[in-house]
Amino acid sequence: MKNNELILILDFGGQYNQLIARRVRECNVYSEVVPYNISIEKIKEKAPKGIIFTGGPASVYGEDSPRCADGIFDLGIPILGICYGMQLMTHTLGGKVEKAETREYGQTDVNIDNTSSLFTDFNNTNKFLMSHTDFVQEVPAGFKNIGSTSHCPNAAMENVEKNLYGIQFHPEVNLSINGTQVIKNFLFNICKCSGDWQISSFVEESIKSLKEKIGDGKALCALSGGVDSSVAAVLLSKAIGKKLTCIFVDHGLLRKNEGDEVEKIFREQFDINLIRVNAKERFLNKLAGITDPEKKRKIIGEEFIRVFEEEAKKLGTVDFLVQGTIYPDVIESGLGKSSVIKSHHNVGGLPDYVDFKEIVEPLRDLFKDEVRKTGLELGIPENLVYRQPFPGPGLAIRIIGDITDDKLEILKDADSIFREEIANAGLHKSINQYFAVLTNLKSVGVMGDERTYDYTIALRAVETTDFMTGVWSKIPYDILEKVSSRIVNEVKHVNRVVYDITSKPPATIEWE
């Protein structure tokens, strides 16, 4: 991607690398994460205003420890080395890196020299996150010490003449108080960036580079109606128009009217080549009698791929398969070694089944809120852009036990009332996920003078930022009361409504 002003981030394997990229973008400077061993020619071609070396788990003394290209320090481009990046800079330029007896980890008081351009606007002592074992014992010739902690004699260094800077701490994380200011100082005081990049520039540049990349080729995109695939599809459609085909597999397990709404937006507002496959019956047949949540997920995942594949085959070979992968997906799939609580199905399995030449993932470097901003910039309606997360297997995992058409209708109606009342109360932006669950429980009630024996609906609402943990939302009683009375009055076969007051953990957000 061509940019007027670019910061290159050399990836040495640290866990916060994309966060560094994001912080730079928050300062309105475009940044790109590239492999640590990017060649000098490539760097020259990209002509960045500055380079950041990330941290990483290696030791500079390790046999295969990652090294940067020779000559990078002579390019005259400002470089900031963070953690391992600082140690590598030291080691390469003739300073001394040593192993410490103990690891220094956690928020630490760092004494700094605030006359350095890197630390403009800082006090002498600041709380930053340290996370390292090796440390710089002796800075290279020509460098000056500009920071230390009680355990680390050289927590920051600079060579003003060569525009080379190193910091042992991590300015990108929230645990480093005001850490972004260090990044800002590097960008504006040292690299002399102007900071005029905006999400609109990302959109413009992505469209341009997608046009160049795809040329006259054909592209295919699986559209789910979720934020990520929608933004990816619209971006592609702006770049290549009708050379893009989107396949929307409607498994019939979406929320009330959702399938039609998705279709309307993409056909009418964006004039996208859209194939909607109404496959409800197919999915319900496969799911008949299935009660195990993981089996449901597996069946839906496989059937989804099969339907998509059948439709894709009709189109013949396509050159590019578009995926709405965003950065958090990349971390989850790359580092996700934790045990499987639920096998979250997404369309990750598609590439094996479809005849295509290359995958295009235009949102791969973005975080969710950046994807949302991109969506708004592209003109996607706010209610879609700010849609709460919705699981791939849809309502199938919100009907406890086996799934039937009747149960689906009951759940859709109850859920729609709950969502409507949450929106009426203006709570839809503060509660991160809220929905109804059809429990498999029937209980006795009384309506009019009649005994009833009907279903119990559970309401679930959680507040969370990462969806890994969350607390149940304290929805005011009068709103719960209204939802409850509307559901039992308006939805047939429901005579009881309960509210789930469990946080995650120990419960999960979905019931299955």
Question: Can 204 be counted among the known catalytic residues?
Answer: no
Q: Which is nearer to ligand XMP, 115 or 338 (CB)?
A: 338
Among the listed residues 91, 132, 170, 251, the single catalytic one is 170
**Catalytic residue at 345?**
no
Identify which of residues 198 and 503 has a Cβ nearer to ligand XMP in the complex.
503
Amino acid at site 234: V
The nearest distance, CB 295 to ligand XMP, in angstroms, is 12
Quote the least distance from Cβ 66 to ligand XMP, whole Å.
Answer: 34
The SS3 of residue 312 is helix
Amino acid at 209: S
Q: How many CB atoms lie within 10 A of CB 57?
A: 14
Strand 433-447 and strand 450-463: the pairing is antiparallel
Q: Which residues contact 77 (CB under 8 A, 6 or more apart)?
A: 43, 48, 49, 50, 51, 163
Cβ 479 to ligand XMP, closest distance in Å? 22
> Among this protein's residues, is 170 annotated catalytic?
yes
Q: DSSP of 333-397, one letter per residue?
A: HHH--S--SS----GGGGGGTS-EEEEE-TTTT--HHHHHHHHHHTT--HHHHTPPP--TTGGGG
Point out the catalytic residue in the list 27, 83, 152, 221: 83
DSSP annotation of 242: G
Residue type, 308: F
Q: Which is nearer to ligand XMP, 280 or 342 (CB)?
A: 342
Closer Cβ to ligand XMP, 33 or 400, answer by number = 400
What whole-number distance in Å separates Cα of residue 185 and Cα of residue 50?
A: 12
Cis before 66 (ω within 30): no
Least distance to ligand XMP, CB of residue 360, Å? 21
Please identify, using beta-carbon distances, which residue of 108 and 432 lies nearer to ligand XMP.
432
* Residue in 158, 172, 311, 377 annotated catalytic: 172
**Distance, CA of 242 to CA of 180 (rounded, Å):** 42
- The CB-of-283 to ligand XMP minimum distance in angstroms stands at 14
Binding interface with ligand XMP (CB under 6 A): 297, 342, 344-346, 389, 391-393, 433, 467, 504, 508-510
Q: Which residues are catalytic?
A: 83, 170, 172
